Homo-oligomer: A and B are copies of this chain.
């Protein structure tokens, strides 16, 4: 298959298009408005099953034929959805077993969306039929650019407790453990009299009187991830068979815990995701982090923003619109961090239904002079100038270890501290890189670390077989590794690595932890480092040094004077351990020192808060600069390079100026 940037050589621009809500006359109006707005790609049919297959085996593609044709005539490509995201009423009524079952044992109701059980054989059979029909019908349509499989898998229903799911769980366990004795050993069922004699003894944990078996609980999360992934693969296989040259994907979500996107990404031709920052939060740093994560899922390959909103959503309690200019600014933040597509939900705001107050590219007023449409049009026209960016990567020499299975495990019940947030710890370290414009990738603990100078592993509670070796080799061969508290505790079945914590990392870190001292909400301790004092909270480790040296010590409580942060030389590298949650200032200073030691730097220098990211391909090296301030910002460039400003076409050297809430994109033309 060709690279996505060959199939879609410009920045893709458009949105979800649900024409079945409107009559044919509106379709022509839509296509004309799309062209005016610079739209070149729309996602069609995401919720169209009920109007494509009106009763079992009664298909009706005539309306979609027409829509595809109109779009193609107007130069708009189609990312065609497989329409399986919400099965129709007749399926639920005829086959109630297709309904997912909630943790109280009741089936979900028809009447919103995503009510299907991923493990229903009948649902899977119906999916296969529909996808096959669609692929056969449109395989040669010239508008077809990509396949949009299902939609936001697991968004509302990521757990199912149906009897079909139970059968599938037992099968999944048999495949994973082979024998029931192995399962018993891995789950530690000898505690609390939980031993199983047969795989068929195993039931769901949805209504246990108290804390369930952690091994089983963790495996249920794995199983549900795999169930939804299998469902994706059912569709992918059909599409690949019938249209081998058309890229396929599904769309991911923000900070979505139930699905291990690292395990999905190899089977997506392009990673896409839906970004909905709450404007009340100001600059969406969490979304910037997610852009970096999404880019990392396929090792740097550009991703797509498959959904965002022009103005406001309607599913929060209080849905504030983006202020003038914010939609544009945040779109470029995505592009800076590796996005080759800027898509919206949805094209035209609904008249009825659950999302009628969700913003769209064309508002209820249908007014071309509306702020919304004018902003859409401006951005669409600008993006046409950025073809050279597509396919370009973001070079990074730092990485943060991220692992969904660790996320599941560390936030399960029965821990020393049961309000720990894995993401909060990750974000604390990400923040330093983000603020300093140091490009950072995300990588799994067993992933390839060889290209990084600095790797941070926040709260890596679970260390699985082989990951210990991977981290060891990284440090041994010269890498700098920072590990934070409550790391190296459990194996892949959430069983303790017996010995002194963190047993598998102890030799790399040169220290061990005797006791954990969780802190209550609002409780604080202090640490001293080089005669400076900092707050810390959440957690303290009672640390013993082996070969490491203390870099900071605790100032209070009964473990006063003991090490809080340690540094150890191991092989050619260096391993730092942070045995608490220090205030952000300390993290910034500690990481800044490591960044400096490893000669990492921003692509250009600017006052805060200007995002500057480098994107590079054979088409050139670009600097994307997004000024989140109200005031203009002066940026110092590489003095040995010359650039061209992609918007103005003018040549730039030494420095440039980015207007308040504005964007500059430079392509390097020469390096002296």
Contact = CB atoms under 8 A, between A and B. Distances in A.
Task: Please classify the interface of chain A as helix (H, G, I), strand (E, B), loop, or mixed, using the class held by over half of its residues.
Answer: loop
A319 B518 contact: yes
Given A105-B106, A355-B414, A191 B350 contact: yes
A83 B188 CA distance: 18
Given A107-B207, A111-B203, 9 more contacts: A89-B202, A109-B207, A109-B208, A115-B209, A211-B315, A349-B496, A356-B414, A365-B500, A372-B515
A155 B192 CA distance: 14
A210 B195 CA distance: 38
A514 B371 contact: yes
A50 B496 CA distance: 23
B517 A321 contact: yes
A212 B354 contact: yes
A193 B498 contact: no
A447 interface: no
Contact of A518 (B112, B318, B323, B364): B318
Contacts of A378: none
A86 interface: yes
A21 interface: yes
A48 to B, nearest CB: 7
Interface in A314-358: 314-321, 323-324, 349-357
Interface stretch (A30-38, A67-75, A416-424, A431-439): A416-424
Contacts of A110: 194, 203, 208
6 contacts: A51-B195, A88-B193, A112-B211, A112-B213, A318-B521, A356-B496
Interface string A180-214: 00000001111111111100111111111111111
A93 interface: yes
A501 interface: yes
Work out how many copies of this chain go into the complex.
Answer: 3
Q: Could you say which of A105, A190, A214, A516 has the most chain B C-beta atoms within 10 Å of its C-beta? A: A190
A364 B263 CA distance: 32
Contact of A188 (B21, B86, B108, B196): B21
Q: Could you say which of A194, A351, A413, A516 has the most chain B C-beta atoms within 10 Å of its C-beta? A: A194
Contact of A352 (B214, B315, B365): B214
A367 interface: yes
Given A106-B207, A113-B210, A216-B111, A194 B50 contact: yes
Nearest to A493: B352
A113 B192 contact: yes
A102 interface: yes
